């Protein structure tokens, strides 16, 4: 029988990699704390309607990429393809709008999209997500963008650039949609098939197309920025000025519309290093109509999502410091017959906060020593035959090879003092 493998587009994150994830998530948690965001732990599946109404029926995500199934109760359920719609649902459902505003939430976890798997793109992927709900001030947009930048600064990404655009509001977007239609009408046959379809349903998305034949045309398309109403224009100016005051490298990208329908006003992406636009580490923006789209009252909001895999790939590409892979401090080596003593000593070391491990394989002292050095133990404690009878243990510093034999009850203290010296 053939061994069962993980489904296409998924992968396992194991010890050699998962500590990097921990570093990224812990950094995001630190930034969340410093900016006053509270963690939200939300369901991985939701009613399909949340996404079809929230994200938009004509988006690629809803049309082609969702993992949707009928559960045993006959409900249409979807594995979340992103977190923003769930965050807004949770805000409404838990009555957070009746408390002090704004509400700042963050979360992280797996998202699911049925896409063609390629490097850095999976069907199950993980995102960090920050949202500020209940506020329409442009300074909330500045804060969201700054919080995402702060995560990248702290994990050591360099050369951060903000690409920003405004996708307008329900007042000014219809006019822009019309002027786009007029513009594309004459060159309709030059567009790709998907974009010809978008022309009727959602012409803004044509700007998003990466196909060369479409890009050639979109390069000279009228920019949204010229069609903005006064309010949207002012909002946009305040956001860009606010970011410049913080020293951010900001530039206008007329073609940035993002793949989701819920954005209003600000849409942005962050690039790091010399990667192209397709390799943005983060995307986000304002979504003042999302709450209404999912059946709630009007609640303004702004947020971003950032892929953990993408952050790690970028850190590695830029040679950012990944931190040290955690290992155990002490390996307790024991001769046959000393298992109880070894188990007790390991137990005591751990209780004192010293990470420790011992042998379970019945190996010889020599091969236990080899294993300890292979796994990067800083110290070993040896309970050999002599040490069993004398109630002692031999403690060895793997860095300089120095060793001494000491009473069993003094081992913890000895290790702790060596550990301190090791760290310096």
Task: Choose between 103 and 214: whose C-beta lies nearer to Zn ion.
Answer: 214
Is 192 a binding residue for Zn ion by CB under 5 A? The answer is: yes
Which listed residue (90, 126, 214, 302) binds Zn ion by CB under 5 A?
A: 214
Helices (H), 108-229: 138-154, 173-185, 193-201, 212-218
Task: Choose between 232 and 290: whose C-beta lies nearer to Zn ion.
Answer: 232
Which listed residue (83, 145, 232, 412) binds Zn ion by CB under 5 A?
A: 232
Which listed residue (42, 77, 92, 229) binds Zn ion by CB under 5 A?
A: 229
Is 252 a binding residue for Zn ion by CB under 5 A? The answer is: no
Beta strand 392-397 with 379-383 is: antiparallel
- The conformational region for residue 156 under phi > 0 = left, psi -120 to 50 = alpha, else beta, is left
Is 281 a binding residue for Zn ion by CB under 5 A? The answer is: no
Give CB contacts under 8 A, 24+ apart, made by 198-201: 198/58, 201/58
Task: Choose between 192 and 416: whose C-beta lies nearer to Zn ion.
Answer: 192
CA–CA dist 33, 39 (Å, integer): 9
Sequence-distant (≥ 6) Cβ neighbours of residue 318 within 8 angstroms: 156, 157, 158, 272, 273
Is 169 a binding residue for Zn ion by CB under 5 A? The answer is: yes
Q: Could you tell me how many residues of this chain bind Zn ion (CB under 5 A)?
A: 11
Is 27:151 a contact under the CB 8 Å cutoff? Answer: yes
Is 172 a binding residue for Zn ion by CB under 5 A? The answer is: yes
Task: Choose between 109 and 223: whose C-beta lies nearer to Zn ion.
Answer: 223
Task: Please give the residues from 87 up to 146 whose contact with Zn ion meets the rule CB under 5 A.
Answer: none
Task: Choose between 209 and 282: whose C-beta lies nearer to Zn ion.
Answer: 209
Residue range at the interface with Zn ion (CB under 5 A); choices 78-86, 225-233, 311-319, 383-391 = 225-233
Sequence-distant (≥ 6) Cβ neighbours of residue 113 within 8 angstroms: 61, 65, 66, 67, 81, 123, 125
Is 159:319 a contact under the CB 8 Å cutoff? Answer: no
Beta bridge partners of 133: 103, 301
CA–CA dist 191, 206 (Å, integer): 9
Is 315 a binding residue for Zn ion by CB under 5 A? The answer is: no
Task: Choose between 213 and 316: whose C-beta lies nearer to Zn ion.
Answer: 213
Q: Which residues of 13-30 are buried (b: 16+ CB within 10 A; e: fewer)?
A: eeeeeeebbebbbebbbe
Is 41:84 a contact under the CB 8 Å cutoff? Answer: no
Residue range at the interface with Zn ion (CB under 5 A); choices 157-165, 209-217, 312-320, 397-405 = 209-217
Smallest separation, CB 88 to Zn ion (Å)? 21
CA–CA dist 68, 57 (Å, integer): 14
Is 171 a binding residue for Zn ion by CB under 5 A? The answer is: yes
Residue range at the interface with Zn ion (CB under 5 A); choices 73-81, 145-153, 188-196, 308-316 = 188-196
Which listed residue (38, 64, 190, 211) binds Zn ion by CB under 5 A?
A: 211
Is 190 a binding residue for Zn ion by CB under 5 A? The answer is: no
Task: Please give the residues from 395 up to 424 whose contact with Zn ion meets the rule CB under 5 A.
Answer: none
Residue range at the interface with Zn ion (CB under 5 A); choices 48-56, 227-235, 307-315, 378-386 = 227-235
Task: Choose between 140 and 172: whose C-beta lies nearer to Zn ion.
Answer: 172
Smallest separation, CB 278 to Zn ion (Å)? 15
Which listed residue (155, 162, 167, 195) binds Zn ion by CB under 5 A?
A: 195
DSSP of 183-206: HHHTTGGGS-HHHHHHHHH-GGGG
Is 272:149 a contact under the CB 8 Å cutoff? Answer: no
CA–CA dist 64, 208 (Å, integer): 17
Smallest separation, CB 92 to Zn ion (Å)? 24
Smallest separation, CB 188 to Zn ion (Å)? 11
CA–CA dist 265, 130 (Å, integer): 18
Which listed residue (54, 102, 138, 168) binds Zn ion by CB under 5 A?
A: 168
Binding footprint of Zn ion on the chain (CB under 5 A): 168-169, 171-172, 192, 195, 209, 211, 214, 229, 232
């Amino acid at each position: 029988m053939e061994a069962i493998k993980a489904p296409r587009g998924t992968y396992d994150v194991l010890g050699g990699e998962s500590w990097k994830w921990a570093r990224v998530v812990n950094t995001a948690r630190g930034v969340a704390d410093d900016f006053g965001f509270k963690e939200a732990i939300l369901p991985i599946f939701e009613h399909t309607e949340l996404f079809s109404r929230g994200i938009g029926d004509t988006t690629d995500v809803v049309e082609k990429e969702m993992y949707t199934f009928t559960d045993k109760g006959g409900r249409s359920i979807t594995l979340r393809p992103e977190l923003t719609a769930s965050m807004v649902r949770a805000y409404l459902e838990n009555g957070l709008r009746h408390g002090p505003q704004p509400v700042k939430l963050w979360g992280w976890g797996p998202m699911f999209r049925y896409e063609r798997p390629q490097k850095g793109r999976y069907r199950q992927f993980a995102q960090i997500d920050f949202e500020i709900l209940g506020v329409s001030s442009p300074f909330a947009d500045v804060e969201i963008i700054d919080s995402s930048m702060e995560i990248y600064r702290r994990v050591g990404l360099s050369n951060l650039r903000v690409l920003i655009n405004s996708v307008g509001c329900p007042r000014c977007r219809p006019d822009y949609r019309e002027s786009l239609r007029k513009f594309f009408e004459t060159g309709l046959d030059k567009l790709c098939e998907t974009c010809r379809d978008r022309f009727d349903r959602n012409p803004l998305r044509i700007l998003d197309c990466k196909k060369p034949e479409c890009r050639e045309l979109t390069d000279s398309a009228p920019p949204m920025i010229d069609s903005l109403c006064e309010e949207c224009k002012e909002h946009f100016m305040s956001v860009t000025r606010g970011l410049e005051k913080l020293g951010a490298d900001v530039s206008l990208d007329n073609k940035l519309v993002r793949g989701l329908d819920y954005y209003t006003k600000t849409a942005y992406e962050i690039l790091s290093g010399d990667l192209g636009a397709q390799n943005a580490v983060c995307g986000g923006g304002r979504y003042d109509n999302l709450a209404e789209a999912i059946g709630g009252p009007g609640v303004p909001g702004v947020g971003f999502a950032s892929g953990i895999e993408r952050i790690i790939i970028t850190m590695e590409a830029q040679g950012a410091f990944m931190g040290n892979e955690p290992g155990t401090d002490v390996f307790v080596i024991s001769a046959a017959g000393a298992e109880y003593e070894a188990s007790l000593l390991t137990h005591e070391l751990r209780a004192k906060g010293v990470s420790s491990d011992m042998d379970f394989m019945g190996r010889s002292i020599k091969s236990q020593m080899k294993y300890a050095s292979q796994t990067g133990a800083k110290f070993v404690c040896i309970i050999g035959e002599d040490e069993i009878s004398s109630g002692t243990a031999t403690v060895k510093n793997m860095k300089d090879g120095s060793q001494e034999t000491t009473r069993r009850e003094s081992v913890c203290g000895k290790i702790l003092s060596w550990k301190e010296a090791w760290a310096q």
